[in-house]
Amino acid sequence: MTQLSPNSSSGEERTEPTDGFAIDTTRRTTREALGDYVARLRGGQLGALPALLGLLTLFVVFTVLSDRFLTLGNLANLLGQGAGIVVIAMGLVFVLLLGDIDLSAGTASGVAASVLALHLVNNGNLLGAMGTAVFLLFCGAIVLAVVLALMARLWIGAGLATLGLLLVVLGVPANPWLEILLAVCVGTAIGCLTGFLVARVGIPAFVVTLALFLAWGGVVLQFVGVGGTLGLRDDVLFAVANGSLPVWGSWLFALVAVLGYVALGWGRHLRQVRAGVVTAPTPLVLGKLGAVVLLALVGTWLLTLNRSPNDQTVIAGVPYVVPIVLVLLVLGTLVLDRTRYGRHIYAVGGNREAARRAGIDVVKIRMSVFVVCSTVAAIGAVIYSSKVGSVDPQAGGGNTLLFAVGAAVIGGTSLFGGRGRLRDAVIGGTVIATIDNGLGLLGQPAAVVSIVTGVVLLLAASVDAVSRRRAAAVGR
Amino acid sequence: MNDQRAGSPADPTEPVRPVLRLSGVNKSFGPVHVLHDVDLAVRPGEVTALVGDNGAGKSTLVKCIAGIHPVDGGSIHFDGEPVRITSPKDAADLGIEVVYQDLALADNLDIVQNMFLGRERTRGGLLDETDMERAARDTLASLSVRTVASVRTPVSALSGGQRQTVAIAKAVLWNSRVVLLDEPTAALGVAQTRQVLDLVRRLAERGLGVVLISHNMNDVFEVADRIATLYLGRLVAELPTRDTTHAQVVELITAGRSGDLGLPRAENVAL
Ligand SMILES: Nc1ncnc2c1ncn2[C@@H]1O[C@H](COP(=O)(O)OP(=O)(O)OP(=O)(O)O)[C@@H](O)[C@H]1O
Ligand SMILES: [Mg+2]
């Protein structure tokens, strides 16, 4: 589209230095930028800072209280324990950004996990495993999801759900990679149903997902069987949350990640400077890049040391969950920050009516975030199932969902919509996993873990509320 | 043109063909009948002021044209062609831009992001932030916005007047044919009101059809070529500014008639 600049004919308006946006600064000194940051903090925009400080505190406390906490073996274990929650929380961030909630993400991921396990254990014969009636209902539900996704013109969602249907109906023999794909597709199909009910039918998300939370819990029970447990006896599936890259692979991965990060970050900065648009001061950009690179390299080095508790075996290398979470984080952040779809999510979350007036298809966006949430939750299900090596009737139930919501909120995602980032889920999820892990090492029972996690979540929510009040008070 | 009288906007003797023409538009919210058979013509190169008391239906009319509210009856012609506007996107595709009275900005996004909302520029599938920022800055510079520190300021940090300017700049950014401004100066200071009024004139000089809603008669008489008066949801008069006086317009707004202008006496009594 061409642009109408009402004054572009009168060139003196542009060259006059004090006129219009000529006073608009695109370059600031580092001191000014830091000053702005402090002002933002004072104004109540805390971002991930409280969570990071909390994480630091937890690390110090647990290191002092337990001599086993700050060991390489435990830290690597922590990553595997936290990854499932972190991934589910990342999907939830999409829903939370709209100011909606998906209480069913946990049990929905449980359904994906149980379908995966059933398919694996019965070598692809879901019809036999489920019984004809249940199997037909299951297929019917997926078909319905495909139709709803097509009606909403969610092509990717419809495609994945169709793929899931094919995998189910064709009865392909068990294969770990196909199982993972199947789980993801089942997640997508579930999301299409949730999204339809919330966005198109217009039932409040809280009610829809509370109902589905119960319903999916029942479905998991039906699939797995009361008191039953489906073991995941497969090397690939076991390795997802328990295996590690080889040492050379770890370094290769670290190198690729670090180089890619620096090239993108620095390239972007240079482009902004050249184009004369708003950008952070160069020293700050360099400092941030340097800090991340340093952290990544130190982390890789630590994880490639031998962390085996005995002398007979060697355990070294970056756990697979690190690249999995990182890839999801990078992809998701790219989508949220750099694509129209992501921009529209923030807009709908910030002001639904404004988004509608700007011509954004609010219903479609709302439906799509539930699809994203359930799809990503299914990936989380693969990880947590791999961690314990089996799927039981409790899969995805219990605290899974609330921990995931807690992770996003502790990380700084607002429950009121419009504010939040994917890395919030990673930071918050790490906090929760650390509490769980640390208290476990101290021999505390589950009761204490739940209480402490609850208190931390309450703290995080208060920080959110207080910072909002503060933000309102200073007019931001 | 001087013998132009109320209720005949489609008069064939008119010199300029309207770019946008509403005929017999009706709109109800449930039992509340807000717009009654409204006829309105927006001509290119002219500023049409839309005046009326609080609750007369001005904003509702604007939202009908913008595709926010579907109309219950009547027709809309654009460039002489009948069109159906069922969504904000339809209106934008025709080249109709609106500055809403209840500003439609997303607080959590910055100025650039708001100005391009729904029409983001992309390159290779990713947002082209550089291009958008430049275009936004140029447009804002042309509106002489002096008080904003950066185009990357989130809208939540702006004052009411600054938000208003962003909303107007958003409408100006696009190569539009018709711009509807719903009380754009209500929240502005003296200098910024001046700038907006100048801008309104400039838009008309560029050949756009401009509709300005305002309660300020001085502003209306200064910039408008024609004044259309809504009274309880009826368009009672559409007159060239130079043929009308303040007193007449005020009477039309408050009573729906003035002398032999506006509603016929009998219907007026019936109301
Ligand atoms: N969404 C809605 N639902 C029901 N009634 C509405 C709605 N929007 C407007 N109305 C009613 O329509 C009538 C006209 O409202 P409108 O906002 O168009 O008035 P206006 O002329 O813009 O007034 P003002 O000068 O105060 O802005 C009012 O009586 C109002 O109560
Ligand atoms: Mg109004």
* B25-80: pLDDT as tens digits: 999 998 999 999 999 999 999 999 999 999 999 999 999 999 999 899 889 999 98
Question: Is the per-residue pLDDT at A15 higher than 60?
Answer: no
Which of A185, A102, A105 lies closest to A146, judged by CA? A185
* pLDDT at residue B11, as a whole number: 46
The chain B residue lying nearest A473, using CA atoms, is B157
Question: Is the per-residue pLDDT at A293 higher than 50?
Answer: yes
Using 50, 70 and 90 to split pLDDT, how confident is the model at A438? very high
* pLDDT at residue A471, as a whole number: 65
- Domain membership flag for residue A288: no
- Domain membership flag for residue B249: yes
* pLDDT at residue A384, as a whole number: 93
- Domain membership flag for residue B2: no
pLDDT over 70 for what percent of chain A?
Answer: 92
Please give the Cα distance from A121 to A130 (Å, whole number).
12
**Nearest protein CA to atom 18 of ligand 1, as residue:** B57
Comparing A81 with A368, the larger pLDDT belongs to A368
* B149-186: pLDDT as tens digits: 788 888 888 877 788 888 888 888 887 899 999 998 88
**CATH code of the domain covering residue A418:** 1.10.3470
Q: What would the 3-class secondary structure string for A455-472 be?
A: HHHHHHHHHHHHHHHHHH
Task: Give distance in angstroms: CA of B141 to centre of ligand 2.
Answer: 28
Please list all protein residues whose beta carbon sits less than 5 angstroms from ligand 2, which is an ion: B 58-59, 101
- Domain membership flag for residue B86: yes
Cα–Cα distance list, A264 to A33, A270, A328 (Å)? 21, 10, 17
Read off the DSSP letter of residue A241. H
Q: Which residues in chain B have their CB less than 8 angstroms from residue A22's CB?
A: 141
* A24-74: pLDDT as tens digits: 556 677 777 787 777 777 766 677 788 888 899 999 999 999 888 988 889
Range of the domain at A75: 49-243+319-389+398-470
Please give the Cα distance from A262 to A275 (Å, whole number).
20
- Domain membership flag for residue A25: no
Using 50, 70 and 90 to split pLDDT, how confident is the model at B194? confident
- 3-state secondary structure (DSSP) of residue B214: coil
Interchain proximity A24–B206, CB inside 8 Å: no
Using 50, 70 and 90 to split pLDDT, how confident is the model at B14? low
Structure tokens of A217? Answer: 């819990």
- 3-state secondary structure (DSSP) of residue A260: helix
Please give the Cα distance from A294 to A150 (Å, whole number).
46
Please give the Cα distance from B86 to A321 (Å, whole number).
48
* pLDDT at residue A63, as a whole number: 93
- 3-state secondary structure (DSSP) of residue A362: helix
Question: Is the per-residue pLDDT at B262 higher than 60?
Answer: yes
Interchain proximity B127–A338, CB inside 8 Å: yes
Q: Which residues in chain B have their CB less than 8 angstroms from residue A359's CB?
A: 87-89, 92, 118-119
Interchain proximity A358–B174, CB inside 8 Å: no
pLDDT over 70 for what percent of chain B?
Answer: 90
- Domain membership flag for residue B65: yes
DSSP assignment string, B108-135: TSBHHHHHTTTS--EETTEE-HHHHHHH
Please give the Cα distance from A378 to A109 (Å, whole number).
5
Question: Is the per-residue pLDDT at A76 higher than 80?
Answer: yes
How many folded domains does chain A comprise?
A: 1
The total of other beta-carbon atoms located within 10 Å of residue A240's CB is: 25
Among A16-30, B40-54, B188-202, which stretch is predicted with the lowest mean pLDDT? A16-30
- Domain membership flag for residue A104: yes
* A129-169: pLDDT as tens digits: 888 999 999 999 999 999 999 999 999 999 999 999 999 99
* pLDDT at residue B165, as a whole number: 81
The total of other beta-carbon atoms located within 10 Å of residue B212's CB is: 27
Question: Is the per-residue pLDDT at B143 higher than 80?
Answer: no
* pLDDT at residue A22, as a whole number: 39
The total of other beta-carbon atoms located within 10 Å of residue A159's CB is: 15
* pLDDT at residue A212, as a whole number: 96
Task: Give distance in angstroms: CA of B214 to centre of ligand 2.
Answer: 9
Comparing B257 with A249, the larger pLDDT belongs to A249
Interface test with A, best of B69, B150, B158 (most A CBs within 10 A): B150
Comparing CB atoms, the residue among B105, B119, B148 nearest residue A24 is: B148
Q: Which residues in chain A have their CB less than 8 angstroms from residue B172's CB?
A: 4, 6
* pLDDT at residue A137, as a whole number: 95
How many folded domains does chain B comprise?
A: 1
Strand order in the sheet with B96-99: B81-83, B73-78, B20-29, B32-42, B234-240, B226-231, B47-51, B209-213, B178-182, B96-99
* pLDDT at residue A25, as a whole number: 58
Question: Is the per-residue pLDDT at A1 higher than 50?
Answer: no
Using 50, 70 and 90 to split pLDDT, how confident is the model at A300? very high
Cα–Cα distance list, A290 to A30, A283, B75 (Å)? 16, 10, 63
Question: Is the per-residue pLDDT at A298 higher than 90?
Answer: yes
**CATH code of the domain covering residue B258:** 3.40.50.300
Task: Name B96's bridge partners.
Answer: B178
- Domain membership flag for residue B165: no
Range of the domain at B226: 20-106+177-268
Please give the Cα distance from B187 to B216 (Å, whole number).
12
Question: Is the per-residue pLDDT at B258 higher than 60?
Answer: yes
* pLDDT at residue B102, as a whole number: 78
* pLDDT at residue A447, as a whole number: 87
Ligand 1 pocket mutation, candidates B25, B26, B28, B32, criterion most atoms within 8 A of CB: B32
Among A105-109, A281-285, A406-410, B265-269, which stretch is predicted with the lowest mean pLDDT? B265-269
> Is B244 close to ligand 1, i.e. is its CB under 6 Å away?
no
Structure tokens of A420? Answer: 């939040």
Which of A220, A237, A249, A280 lies closest to A28, judged by CA? A280
State the complex-level ipTM: 0.84
Comparing CB atoms, the residue among A5, A19, A344 nearest residue B138 is: A5
* pLDDT at residue B25, as a whole number: 92
pTM: 0.88
- Domain membership flag for residue A418: yes
- Closest ligand to C-alpha of residue B230 is 1
- Domain membership flag for residue B220: yes
